[in-house]
Amino acid sequence: MSKNATTAEGWDAEYAAGRWAFLRSLPESGRYGIIGMWLNLTGTNGDVLDIGCGEGLLYERLAPMGLRRYVGVDLSPASLQIADVDPKIASLRAGDMHDFEPEPGERFSAIVFNEVLHFAEDPAAVVARYVPFLKPDGVMALSMYAPQRPGSGANRLIAKLWDATDNATAWDVLDDYRLTSDKKDVTWRMRLIKPV
């Protein structure tokens, strides 16, 4: 497996080459379904900020579930051009998760980090910097690919993030999943959290 891009230009080239087309496959859908149900059951699917939205796959899955407003942010402008969103409810913005700022006064009922936090040196710090952008009672959905090697860099990042969000004085963990696709032989760690 090739190393992931680190620049907008690199990500643009990967999207243009179709490297991420597999994300549309059926075995990838389970985590989107869990995120969608989390947001529906907590009543937080009104104003969703999707960090690392790629070509808007989460938007496509949430739109039939009553999504009212969606903002997708991705480092790759090319991925945003692929996205097929309704401009009446969706806005796509090129930006880096480390320094993205919403419009003044813009707040969200849910902020989703779906397969993007692996690209942060300190995922817990990235998640924490988004707390001010949540509406009262807003939630954050986290999903991270968990390789089979327990000592992998990705699993170390997950462990650090889970340790940080286990802090009951800062976070309420509403749900926690280890989702495995037997078809793909892939596991994701997923967590729904709410700031205390």
For residue 2, being part of any structural domain is answered with: no
187: confidence class by pLDDT, cuts 50, 70, 90:
very high
What pLDDT digit, counting tens, does each position of 6-24 carry? 788 888 888 888 777 777 7
Report if residue 139 sits inside a domain: yes
User: DSSP of 75-100, one letter per residue?
Assistant: S-HHHHHH----TTTEEEEE--TTT-
**Residue 165, C-beta contacts closer than 8 angstroms, at least 6 positions apart:** 124, 127, 142, 171, 173, 191, 193
| Residue 194 identity | K
pLDDT of the residue at 3: 67
**Three-state secondary-structure class, residue 63:** helix
Q: What is the pLDDT of residues 91-106, one digit of tens each?
A: 999 999 999 999 999 9
Domain limits at 56? 8-195
* Per-residue pLDDT tens over the stretch 168-185: 999 999 999 999 999 888
Overall domain count for the chain: 1
What pLDDT, on a 0 to 100 scale, did the predictor assign at position 16? 81
pLDDT tens per residue across span 44-80: 999 999 999 999 999 999 999 989 999 999 999 999 9
Question: In the predicted model, is pLDDT for residue 1 greater than 80?
Answer: no
**CB under 8 Å to 190, separation ≥6 — which residues?**
31, 34, 35, 141, 142, 143, 144, 175, 176, 177, 178, 179
Sheet containing 69-74: which strands, arranged edge to edge? Answer: 90-94, 69-74, 47-51, 108-114, 134-146, 186-195, 171-181
Q: pLDDT tens-digit profile of 142-158?
A: 999 999 998 999 999 99
Domain-embedded: residue 176: yes
DSSP state, residue 68: -
Which domain CATH number covers 87?
3.40.50.150
CA distance 145 to 116: 9
CA pair distance 191, 79, nearest whole angstrom: 25
Confidence of residue 2 (pLDDT cuts 50, 70, 90): low
Asked, for residue 1, whether it belongs to a domain, the answer is: no
Q: What percent of the chain has pLDDT over 70?
A: 98
Q: Which structure tokens are listed for 3?
A: 């190393």
Contact call for residues 10 and 75 (beta carbons, < 8 A): no
The enclosing H or E element of 139 equals strand 134-146
What is the pLDDT, as a whole number, of residue 19? 76
Assigned domain for 96 exists: yes
Q: Is 16 inside a domain boundary?
A: yes
Residue 5 has pLDDT above 80, yes or no: no
Q: Is residue 79 part of a domain?
A: yes
In a domain, 144, yes or no: yes
